[in-house]
Structure 1
């Protein structure tokens, strides 16, 4: 085995689909632009018209989404437009891996906090402003960032200490933990166990906390006698619940699966859903399924048209 230290990896991305490179590039570029523009619009609407704790969390989540796609998609687009295998230094690879997991974990924890916010709003409406005060909201956001930082640091530090002995090809479109540690020329069982355990604890833990909130919400909705009242109460959390299902569904498919050669393509598809498709859908879900966001958007558009 060649023991020469490796300074670069090759990101294969979708190099096996040479004839579809331009089509894939255009589709992902459209999704990327939709994600960035959609979330910027949401942040702008929240800043001007929507000032409740729920929209504070949505605004933070939108900012995380922009950062999340920025970590991986521009590099992928560059790879596709060049139309060839793209190199990335080991240092940049570990950096990308770190920020990807930091932002992804922070989003997951923030979704759990948003679930708690919906629980308080629906089940304890009279105490909502006292419980979800500005200090608590900021603490919950900081908690999501700190959790994400710890989670990402575990993976990036453990991965950075692995020896990579040959000029290796990463069978992925960005530096994620699973495909990178497969390239190490040493026993990686500890890394694999750590990834599965820590990812499992964080993903299932935050998902269960979110589901606990929705169990209480469901119990409260059953006590409402009129169908109109139940629909009105549920409409305030339907957007969040949809995003929770999309986020955790794709995350679990990506990180709780087996470490095998057969899973490479499946992991790549799941990663596309997690890193590109889901962030594209999120701002659309919040604008199409949320009456207050739609009302704020119409108000903004009316003002813009009247000025001209």
Structure 2
């Protein structure tokens, strides 16, 4: 049976994004047809170990694509064939995740995502990376190429990934010394200056503390002094993987930092309407067993 599909009329397409019976190589077979999808606004791609000798190396420009979702399906996945030939000048939302929460050792990308952003020259607004290997250096390149970014979500895999340098670069704290304002972070200017919503996660408690300091640096008068937009939503997620954390201590910790955030916003009475910040500290205890007595 054969179907004739009008590719140029498609507004949304998904290839192997949620496969139920293993890889079908649909993406490899249909990749060349992307060039016809000039009205496409949303694209979802599941990446597996697919032979990427596609389109004879010719770039495919999708002028109207605004949302791209990439999902890693296996430890053998390689993202390069799927996105290295794409140019997406109107890309606004990039979501990257994995179908299984497993820290695979095989690297599945290098500079592919940052190269996509640089090649496309797009104004990315939303970046979400969750449950998938994503090295800090590539993440920093993506953020540096996204000055218009308004929302950022990063749930690393493994949960213990060292994200200290990422937090430090987003932090815009300025320390007064001898009448001067010194910025401890990016000397070329604040990273993601339009950021309004941020979610960061870790299983390392010291990173949680750094997250909350970074949140406070981007609120109210501190944000204006640094020349960045003030945060509207800030979430810190702590993964208590071994269930040994003192929950009372974490609750006090969360309340303490929430109080500091409220204090930092209330210090600027004239612009309180601009400083309404929703913030949360979430403790996630996966696989926590509950034992039931059976008689």
TM-score (norm 2): 0.26
Relative to its length, the structure with more helix (as a share) is 1
Whose relative contact order is higher, 1 or 2, with alpha carbons under 8 Å and at least 6 apart?
Answer: 1
Relative to its length, the structure with more strand (as a share) is 2
TM-score (norm 1): 0.25
